[in-house]
Chains A and B, each alone.
Chain A
């Protein structure tokens, strides 16, 4: 049992270290994580008839990466068959537990039981992903963040499309807008991590033209990805065109803000106050008109050392 205890202590330390490195206080992350789960599940259950199924699917997707082949082989090598299995079952049930709790609270008992058992059962499977397999993308290499990000998160876009179809079937425009929001935040997430300075240095551009090129390409890709759900919603809810266009506009502006925040902070990672400012812009979008010039000037100055005028 000591082995298992030390394994989980190590995982906890590693996770906390990752949060601290990203400029976030672990306690605050756990606190906001719990609050976020309560808020999001409440919203999901009040606006979507199949919320329990969505939650089961989401938690299974969260657990799935732990079944990664090389990872399981490593655990087997270090801990042996018995301890590896115990560790894997405990890992999966720990991650599924908050979702099981939510399902119990919302009286979705069968789904809660199914999730608990399927989560534990997934611990007995491991799958090998062919890490070399790539698929071509019509994106410019200059915005490699989107290429890398899209390859890592493309299931989100399939999910968003499914949600848009469900929104039409369920006559629930809010769900469709939620799907669009999901896509916007996924693309915004591509710009959270700073790239190696070599990938800024290689550009023979001025900071201004570098930033403008990034905005242009990123917004183009965002709109390209948003076209399918937006068109679907526009066809079935033409009267809600204002809401749909507002989502597109705000999404584009938020993307510009995050790119500028990234390069204003560069080469360090974006920290908590900057994330808070981004959150404020999400809750009160007119703030982007202040944030854009402020961070544009800061990022322009910050990039001077790598890209000369």
Chain B
């Protein structure tokens, strides 16, 4: 279990996260939504220990960072490192004796090619494969569906459900509401500088209505298109 208590984060005078209180339990999938800049990535980085913050993050999985698989929005790959070496690096770093091979290369990636030359979607698949092989207990997936083809999207959904069945904690963010609706137990709506709102499965319809954009016509009138 991960318990977030009064988590606040500011960059200079701008408050991004304000007194966030959330609990994440094993065997559950949590979705995080919010407009660009609402603090989704910052929130993930705080849980991972990559950002300093005010408040507390408790977990019975200690140390949390050593059991956490973090998929970044735009995973970074060093130059001249092959896909296979990237996976071994992440596994060796966690002292896990796993290697990429034809069996676990579920996305069919060209593992002997340099990862930096992969397309956006392939990079995401590689980063995902690596964190899956790390044998983590918690998975934080920041916009995992971005850049993935339709087949991989379906495969990813199935993988997330399988992780739930294995009693893992999965927290993911996405701008595609339908994907979150299909897999999540709870969706958390982050709003810049405000406390987040939590929606359970039976309230997803309300969330979808609330998230619908307003003043669209007025906004469209503001720009002259030629």
Question: Which residues of A approach B to under 8 Å, CB–CB?
Answer: 131-132, 134, 140-142, 144, 147-148, 151-152, 195-199, 201-205, 305-306, 308
B80/A201 in contact, CB under 8 A? no
Which residue in chain B gives the minimum CB-CB distance to A151?
B80
Question: Which one of B50, B70, B95 contacts A204 once the chains associate, using CB atoms below 8 Å?
Answer: B95
A132/B113 in contact, CB under 8 A? yes
Confirm or deny: B48 has a beta carbon within 8 angstroms of a beta carbon on chain A: yes
A306/B49 in contact, CB under 8 A? yes
| Given A144-B81, A196-B76, A308-B63, A201 and B92 contact (CB-CB distance below 8 Å) | no
Confirm or deny: B151 has a beta carbon within 8 angstroms of a beta carbon on chain A: no
A142, B52: Cα distance in complex, Å:
26
A152/B80 in contact, CB under 8 A? yes
B81/A147 in contact, CB under 8 A? yes
A204/B94 in contact, CB under 8 A? yes
A148/B81 in contact, CB under 8 A? yes
Confirm or deny: B175 has a beta carbon within 8 angstroms of a beta carbon on chain A: no
Question: Which one of A132, A152, A308 contacts B65 once the chains associate, using CB atoms below 8 Å?
Answer: A308
Interface CB pairs A-B, < 8 A, 12: A134-B114, A141-B86, A144-B81, A148-B80, A195-B78, A198-B72, A202-B89, A202-B94, A204-B63, A305-B49, A305-B52, A306-B50
A-B complex: 6 closest residue pairs judged by Cβ atoms: A204-B66, A141-B88, A141-B89, A202-B93, A151-B80, A203-B93
Which residues of chain B are near A199, meaning CB under 8 Å? 78, 89
B82/A144 in contact, CB under 8 A? no
Interface residues of B in 43-66 (CB under 8 A from A): 48-50, 52, 63, 65-66
Which residues of chain B are near A197, meaning CB under 8 Å? 50
A203, B66: Cα distance in complex, Å:
7
B78/A201 in contact, CB under 8 A? no
Which residues of chain A are near B76, meaning CB under 8 Å? 196, 198
Confirm or deny: B120 has a beta carbon within 8 angstroms of a beta carbon on chain A: no
| Given A141-B89, A147-B81, A203-B93, A134 and B50 contact (CB-CB distance below 8 Å) | no
Confirm or deny: B210 has a beta carbon within 8 angstroms of a beta carbon on chain A: no
| Given A144-B78, A201-B48, A134 and B92 contact (CB-CB distance below 8 Å) | no
Which residue in chain A gives the minimum CB-CB distance to B52?
A305
B93/A142 in contact, CB under 8 A? yes
Which residues of chain B are near A195, meaning CB under 8 Å? 78
CB distance from B123 to the nearest CB of A (A): 13
Confirm or deny: B38 has a beta carbon within 8 angstroms of a beta carbon on chain A: no
Q: In terms of DSSP, what is the predominant structure of the interface of chain A?
A: loop
Confirm or deny: B4 has a beta carbon within 8 angstroms of a beta carbon on chain A: no
A163, B80: Cα distance in complex, Å:
27
CB distance from B121 to the nearest CB of A (A): 17
Question: Which one of A144, A305, A306 contacts B89 once the chains associate, using CB atoms below 8 Å?
Answer: A144
Question: Which one of A132, A148, A306 contacts B78 once the chains associate, using CB atoms below 8 Å?
Answer: A148
CB distance from B52 to the nearest CB of A (A): 8
A134/B113 in contact, CB under 8 A? yes
Which residue in chain A gives the minimum CB-CB distance to B78?
A148
CB distance from B65 to the nearest CB of A (A): 7
A204, B86: Cα distance in complex, Å:
16
Confirm or deny: B103 has a beta carbon within 8 angstroms of a beta carbon on chain A: no
Instruction: Determine which residue in A141, A204, A205 has the highest number of CB atoms from chain B within 10 A of its CB, and name it.
Output: A141
B92/A140 in contact, CB under 8 A? yes
B93/A204 in contact, CB under 8 A? yes
Which residue in chain A gives the minimum CB-CB distance to B63?
A308
CB distance from B190 to the nearest CB of A (A): 22
Which residue in chain A gives the minimum CB-CB distance to B85?
A141
CB distance from A25 to the nearest CB of B (A): 27
Which residues of chain B are near A198, meaning CB under 8 Å? 50, 70, 72, 76
Which residues of chain A are near B79, meaning CB under 8 Å? 148, 152
Which residue in chain A gives the minimum CB-CB distance to B90?
A202
CB distance from A17 to the nearest CB of B (A): 20
A134/B112 in contact, CB under 8 A? yes
Which residues of chain B are near A147, meaning CB under 8 Å? 80-81, 85
A144, B85: Cα distance in complex, Å:
8
Interface residues of B in 138-171 (CB under 8 A from A): none
Which residues of chain A are near B114, meaning CB under 8 Å? 131-132, 134
Question: Which one of B72, B80, B89, B93 contacts A134 once the chains associate, using CB atoms below 8 Å?
Answer: B80
A152, B116: Cα distance in complex, Å:
14
A141, B111: Cα distance in complex, Å:
14
A148, B80: Cα distance in complex, Å:
5
The contact string, 1 if C-beta is below 8 Å from chain A, for chain B 89-107, is: 1101111000000000000
Which residues of chain A are near B65, meaning CB under 8 Å? 201, 204, 308
A203, B96: Cα distance in complex, Å:
11
CB distance from A204 to the nearest CB of B (A): 4
Which residue in chain B gives the minimum CB-CB distance to A204?
B66
Confirm or deny: B179 has a beta carbon within 8 angstroms of a beta carbon on chain A: no
Which residue in chain A gives the minimum CB-CB distance to B69?
A202
Confirm or deny: B117 has a beta carbon within 8 angstroms of a beta carbon on chain A: yes
Which residues of chain B are near A132, meaning CB under 8 Å? 113-114, 117
A199, B65: Cα distance in complex, Å:
13
